[in-house]
Amino acid sequence: MTGSLFSHGASKPLAETLRPSSIADVIGQEHLLSPDGPLGRMLRNRRLSSFVLWGPPGVGKTTIARLIAAESGYEFIQLSAVSTGIADLRKAIAAASALRDSGGRPTAVFIDELHRFSRPVQDAMLPAIEDGTFVLIGATTENPSFSLVSALLSRAKVFTLNRLGTEDLASVIARAEQHYAKPLPLVPNARDALVAMADGDARYLLGLCEELMSLTPDAPLDTDQLASIIQSRAPLYDKGKEEHFNLLSCFHKSLRGSDVDAALYWAARMLVGGEDPAVIFRRLSCAASEDVGMADPQAMVQVITAWQAFERVGLPEGRLFLAQAITYVATAPKSNASYLALDRAMELARRTGSLPPPKHILNAPTALMKELGYHVGYQYDHDHPDAFSGQEFYPEQIADTHPDPLYTPNERGFERDIKKRLTYWSGKRKSGR
């Protein structure tokens, strides 16, 4: 292997040894680094503006920061928000300011794990970025919209790095094999399994390659043998951060879209990632009401019953109840008519204020209330055919305007029967019954 691509150092981890030495060697981020990409244009003009690289671990954030600064002719200062405080940041600003005042080249300050900086530390950078003392290059695995202050976001573009795909990771393996001048000791299926274990992370994959290259098996390893040697990586899932809400959103939308397989998959992704099953049951309960509603009232019963059974039995058998509840909600007929009706009722209540209710539906527990006409004229519905009196229950001012129905059931599932009842009762009201 030529020295232009890799620097050999026995004491370095393979991922550091094979770190690309030019932008052209970076894998998988062509949308940013191609000549027409935003970073490619900066590189062509040799003029950087502040930006933040957002993406999962092991996709090249640090490498890109180093190389784009070097190839653009910028002094490079690297900090980590995990171990850097405001004193270290001030030293970097002072160094960049001194270099600029002496007529030296511009400075790029790279801050890894930028989201870990507190708001005061982020704010402390703003004047130096604003007056051009240095260009900020940040790296973060968390959504900048949530983790960075708005003033910083207004001064730095955010570029999203892609998770590395199968072909990208295959190229990473090929570089490792070229470095060692021998193939990985794996059969083809095990090679595919190794890529899956990496879960889009080139740095992690190179660590696996380094471990495998130290083995001397009598024959290439199959998938089972590989699994016995290398423990599978835990999926990327932070129960308190964006990934948590992303997967819940995917789960709920799959339920709403009646895609039972996708709903089961997203639930499994959360369970494998260590999510509390109660979180999944809570979202199921919401979907059973918001998206199924009266089209199948049993959906809520199924979910709550399954939830109670899960709490009594626990794992692993409790997965049976969760699976049943998911499949029921996903395959049930859908209607959001109930909650839309409440939204309309809330709007009507806000618009009409504190209108008095009709006296005939008020109880009259005192003599004074009876004298005032409370409860006079009330008709007990069970005394009428079909247990329907046809009385008015709205305040008089609303009843006089004949508002459109708030609840409008769909022609799906059980709501089809409800719609027939409402049509029947509406006809009886209009006929005076």
Antiparallel, parallel or unpaired: β 135-140 and 75-80:
unpaired
For residue 230, what pLDDT is reported?
79
Beta bridge partners of 159: 53
Rounded to whole angstroms, the Cα distance separating 415 from 293 reads 9
For residue 336, what pLDDT is reported?
93
For residue 432, what pLDDT is reported?
65
Report yes or no: 307 and 348 within 8 Å, Cβ to Cβ.
no
Does the global pTM surpass 0.75?
no
In the chain (433 residues long), the average pLDDT of successive 10-residue segments reads: 42 89 93 94 94 92 96 94 86 92 91 90 91 94 86 92 92 95 93 89 92 89 86 56 77 94 92 87 95 95 95 90 96 93 89 83 85 86 86 81 83 90 84 64
For residue 310, what pLDDT is reported?
93
* Six-digit token string for 219: 């024959």
Q: Which domains does the chain have, with CATH numbers?
A: 29-160 (3.40.50.300), 166-232 (1.10.8), 241-335 (1.20.272.10), 357-431 (no CATH)
* Residue 335 CB neighbour total at 10 angstroms: 24
Determine phi and psi for 6, rounding to 5 degrees: -135, 145
Contacts of 122-127 with CB under 8 Å at 24 or more apart are 122/148, 122/149, 122/151, 122/152, 123/149, 123/151, 123/152, 124/86, 124/89, 124/90, 125/89, 125/93, 125/152, 126/151, 126/152, 126/155
For residue 9, what pLDDT is reported?
45
Determine phi and psi for 136, rounding to 5 degrees: -90, 130
For residue 8, what pLDDT is reported?
45
Report yes or no: 230 and 198 within 8 Å, Cβ to Cβ.
no
